[in-house]
Amino acid sequence: MGDSSDEEFQNSESWVFYRNRDDWKDVEPVEQEDGGEYPVVSISYTPKFKDVYDYLRGVMKIGEKSQRALDLTADAIALNAANYTVWQYRRDILKELKSDLAKELKYIEKVIQRHCKNYQVWHHRRVIVEWLQDSSKELKFTQGILVFDAKNYHAWQHRQWAIKTFGLYEGELEYVDSLLRDDIRNNSAWNQRYFVINNTIGFVDDVVSKEVEYVLEKIETVPLNESAWNYLKGLLLHDKGGLSNNVKVTTFCEDLYMSGNRSPFLLALIVDMCDERISNKAEDDKYNLKRASELCHELATTVDPIRCRYWEYMSTTISKKAGCESGEDAEGGDGPEEAAAAGASHDV
């Protein structure tokens, strides 16, 4: 029964309750304890669910680790794939029986395809891959999942684990590049690009320079793509000159601004450049307090009003760094707690 498909499992005509199976007469089912005779919140289980889990608790109580118990866990998982206890018991049985793990990998593949946003199913696959010490199927498998959901967090997390654990970096940047060509706004792909470089060649000067050219080209195509702007800022954190001393970036930003573009991410980066120069006590005709205050006002009132309190806070903070404790530009700002409550971070 454990190898049956979901359709077969859900088919009431073919289903036989465990309580009616002759080969399960020796097991005493254990009912769910919901809190006594008068539970505060009583869950209404289906008869099938109650039957399966009563017998599962029965075999767990006596510690039975057999093929029929393994099949029972599959039926329990078909009813609730998020039950961690069932998955752990299944792994205990697999170990005890020295089961065919290649077969188990095929089983969990089918389960993940039906429940691809369930943490427990991905954890189980990771454990099986670790036991097998064979990651040969993981990139292709996760790629298949990402075809249907390019931003599936669990698939990306598993892919990164497999790549880092087994050193599967070769060809990953090319794969990421293909994803970005398909969808330039794929924030997961941008994150993966950062992950691969950070764990391989690193963000040395020539890599930063090449990546800056790459991301500026993408931003030029879609200036309102927040993911690309975040990636750019992440790159500049590795630049020895900081945010405001990369000529390629400053020239690009100024040209974009002068063209009339008012992307909130462009303005936010220029504000950060001003903040950096002022924090470093550097005199600058371009990235100064006056410009920072004007941009924060524009962001708060026109471009990004949903985060107006954050931009008011930024204006006040930068003014204080510049030695201006009060004044028109610094008025109206909230403290860090208020700004945080406004949920207004634009960092990577």
- Classify residue 60 as left (phi > 0), alpha (psi -120 to 50) or beta: alpha
308 and 333 Cβ atoms separated by less than 8 Å: no
Distance CA 169, CA 300 (A): 42
- Catalytic annotation present for 117: yes
Query: ∠ CA(186), CA(218), CA(199), 5° rounding?
Result: 65
Residue in 106, 117, 210, 248 annotated catalytic: 117
**End-to-end Cα spacing for the chain:** 48
| Element (DSSP H or E) covering residue 166 | helix 153-166
CB atoms under 10 Å from CB of 72, counted, come to 28
- Per DSSP, helices labelled H in 199-335 are 205-221, 226-236, 247-258, 264-279, 289-298, 308-321
- Residue 267 and residue 295 in contact, taking contact as beta carbons nearer than 8 Å: yes
The residue behind tokens 């990164």 is 160
Mention every residue, 6+ apart, whose C-beta is less than 8 A from residue 3: 71, 74, 107
Active-site annotation, residues: 117
